[in-house]
Structure 1
C-alpha cells in the first residue's frame, strides 16, 4: 500500500488501524526551535475524539498523545517528530458478523477488490480513526502558522437541511454547542433534526467551512501546484468528503463575469485590496492576500442500524443491520480534521514559496 504520506517539504506519514494497537504519525520537515509539548497537540485531538456528546460514537477513547521523538527540552529539534495514540477500547467482536459482508456506503467492496483482503474491524486503514495522525500533525502546523500570523477558523456550516445564518454568526458559539456551529439557533435546529434521524436509525451529512486569514499574497504555483488544487486534494483525502469548494464554488457556475469578478481598490493606507472575495482568496492558483474560504461536503455516516440490502463476498444477497458504536453525524468531529489538513497544506506550500524569487533567496543567505 502506498499513499500514506502527504506533503513535500513539511511531510506527514500516518500509520495504524482502527482496531490495531495504536494510531500515529511521523512529521518530517518541522523546523527546529518551535516550542511544543503534548498539551499543544492534545487540545486538537480532544476536538475529534469520540464520546463528546450523544451525537458522536460512544467508543471510550481518551486519545492521549505521546511524543516519541523530535523534541528536546520542550522544543523541536528539526528531526522527524513521531507521535502515537494507543487504542484502548476496541471491540473487534462487534464486527465478526460482517467479516464477509459488504456494508453499504463503506469501502469494504473496493478495498477487497484492490487487495483481496480487508481488515473488517472498523475498516482498518479506511476507518475515520486514521485521521488521528492528521489532527496531531495539524496541531503542529497550526502552531507554526500562528508564528507567521496566519489564523484558521473552522466550523460546521450545515447539518442536513439546517444551515447557519451568516447574520447570526458568532465565533464564540462554535465551542458552546456539540455540533461546532457558530449560530446557536441553527445548532438547536440541527440537534432536533439529528434526534429525528437517530429515531429512524438513520444518519446525516453536512458541510464544514474553513476561513484562513492573513496568508501572504504569494503562496501557490500557477500550474500543477496550485494552492486551491492542493487544498482540494488534502480535503478530499478525508474519508467521508464528497465535495469541495473554494470561494463561491459551484454557485459561480450560475453567475456572470460581472457578478463573479473581484474588482480592486485601495484600503485607507493605500494598499491594493479586492473589493469582494468571490474567488475565495486564490487567483491563478496563488493566494491573493484576502481570506481563503473553503468548504467540504461530508456524506452521512454509512454505519446505520436501519435495514439495508447488500451481498456477501460470495455474491449472496442478504439484509444487514449494522451493529456497533457509530456517529449519527460525522461533521462535528470532522471540523478539526479539515482545519488540520488545510494547515498542513498551507505550511508546506509556504516553505515551497521561499524559493520563488532570487532577491528573497539572496536576502535569506546574506
Structure 2
C-alpha cells in the first residue's frame, strides 16, 4: 500500500513522469512552526542533478504546502505536500512497450496490476521518494524541537570501497581464524562510536558522495565515474544513527522498533539488505562477549557499556544511540545493450535510454533519514498516548516493587 505509519501516517502519490508527486501527512501534532523552507532543505539534498555523480534530470523539486498549516503553524489536520515534475521525458521509454527492463519493476507491476505506467518506473521510480522526504522533514522538525532527537545518515561503502575498518559498522569478513576460537575484538570500535556520536550533516555533505572520510570519498567518486563511463551502475551501503531517542519506544511483538525500521528501510527503492546494531557480525560472537553490560549514568538512568544491540533490546529502545545499515543494489536501469526477451518471449536486445543514477547511495542519504524520522515519531506518539492514558489512573499500590520502575538515583 502507499500509506506508512499508525498515528503519524504518510501517504505518498505520483509516478515518475506524471504532473506531480507528493504526500498527505496525517497525525502531525498541532502547534508546530512549519514553513516550506523546513522541508525544502531535505528535498534539495535528495534532488537530481547535484553533481556529475547523479542523474542529469533537471528538477528543482520545490515543495508547495497545500493544507494543514496557517500562519506558519500546523493545525493538526492533514498536511498536503506537492512537488511538480518539470523535466519529464516519456519518449525516452518507448522500448519498454516491448521489453521489460532486466531487474526492473516493469514485469512485476504488469503481472500485479494488469497495467503499468508507460514511461519510467511509475511508482517504483525514486521520484516516489519525494513524498517520503517531505513528510520526514516534518517529522524531524517535531522530533528536534520537542525531544532534541538527531538523525544523520552517511555513505559507508560504494562497491568494494568501504570506510576504514575502525570507522566502519560491524560486518562479516571471511577469516582463516580457528573456528573454535571465540576471541573477538569489539566490533564497535572507539572511532566508530565517536563517529556515531558526533557526525553532522554538514560534515556528510562536504563531499558529493556523502562519505565523511575524505580519502575514501575520493575513491568512491572514481568508482562511480568508472561505472558511469561504462554505461553501468554500482551499489553501496548507507549507515544511519539516531541520537537522543528516549527509552521505551517500540510496540512488541510484531511492531518492534527494529521491525518498523526494517519495514521502512526496505520499502525504499533499490534496497536489498538491512541490519541493526552488530547485525550479521553478532552471529559470530558468543553471548558472553556480545551482551551489553548495564552501567549507571550520571543522571541516574541506566545505560550500556558497549551498545552491540544498536540501542534496541527486546524490540524496545534503551536510550542508547540507534544505528543501522542499509544495502542498496546497483541501479537496474543502465544504458548498455542487454540480451533479454520481449513481453511475448521473443529474444532481442534492449538498449535502454533515459537518465539514471550510476549509484543511488549519495542521494539515498536524506531518504533514509526521512524514513527513520517517520518511524521514530510514529512510535513516539504511540508511547505518549499509552503514558498519558496510564497517568489518568490512580497509583497502583498492590504491585510488588520488582514490577514497577524504581526511582532514579542521582
Scaled by the length of structure 2, the TM-score of the pair is 0.85
Shift in Å at residue 162 of structure 1?
1.2
CA contact (8 A) 2:95 2:352 kept: no
Aligned to 2:31: 33
Match of 2:204 among 144, 150, 174: 174
Separation in 2, partners of 1:309, 1:40: 46
Is 1:318 aligned with 2:316? no
**In 2 relative to 1, CA 270–33 (structure 1 residues): closer, same or farther, beyond 3 Å?**
closer
**Secondary structure in structure 2 of the residue aligned to 1:212:** strand
CA contact (8 A) 1:218 1:286 kept: yes
Compute the RMSD of aligned alpha carbons: 1.5
Aligned to 1:218: 248
Q: Give the stretch that moved more between structures: 66-75 or 249-258.
A: 249-258
Aligned residues: 361
The correspondence of residues 136-285 of structure 1 with structure 2, limited to 5 A, is 136-147=134-145, 148-165=147-164, 166=167, 167=191, 171=200, 172-285=202-315
Separation in 1, partners of 2:127, 2:250: 30
Which deviations, in whole Å up to 9, do the C-alpha atoms of 1:168-196 show, x marking residues without a partner? 95644311111111111110010111122
Shift in Å at residue 360 of structure 1?
4.9
Which deviations, in whole Å up to 9, do the C-alpha atoms of 1:261-289 show, x marking residues without a partner? 11112234443210001111000010000
CA contact (8 A) 1:50 1:60 kept: yes
Separation in 2, partners of 1:60, 1:222: 44
Shift in Å at residue 199 of structure 1?
2.4
Separation in 2, partners of 1:233, 1:310: 32
CA contact (8 A) 2:54 2:358 kept: yes
Aligned to 1:105: 103
**Secondary structure in structure 1 of the residue aligned to 2:66:** strand
**Secondary structure in structure 1 of the residue aligned to 2:204:** helix
**In 2 relative to 1, CA 270–68 (structure 1 residues): closer, same or farther, beyond 3 Å?**
closer
CA contact (8 A) 1:173 1:183 kept: no
Structure 2 residues without counterparts, runs of 5 or longer: 168-190, 394-410
Separation in 2, partners of 1:358, 1:276: 32
Separation in 1, partners of 2:388, 2:375: 24
Which deviations, in whole Å up to 9, do the C-alpha atoms of 1:309-347 show, x marking residues without a partner? 221111111121221111000111111001100100110
The correspondence of residues 48-59 of structure 1 with structure 2, limited to 5 A, is 48-59=46-57
Aligned to 2:87: 89
Separation in 2, partners of 1:159, 1:293: 19
Aligned to 1:126: 124
Is 1:341 aligned with 2:371? yes
Separation in 2, partners of 1:267, 1:78: 37
Aligned to 2:61: 63
Q: Give the stretch that moved more between structures: 298-307 or 351-360.
A: 351-360
Bigger Rg, structure 1 or 2: 2
Separation in 1, partners of 2:389, 2:28: 24
Match of 2:332 among 299, 302, 308: 302
Scaled by the length of structure 1, the TM-score of the pair is 0.95
Which deviations, in whole Å up to 9, do the C-alpha atoms of 1:218-271 show, x marking residues without a partner? 001220110110111011111111000110111111111122111112234443
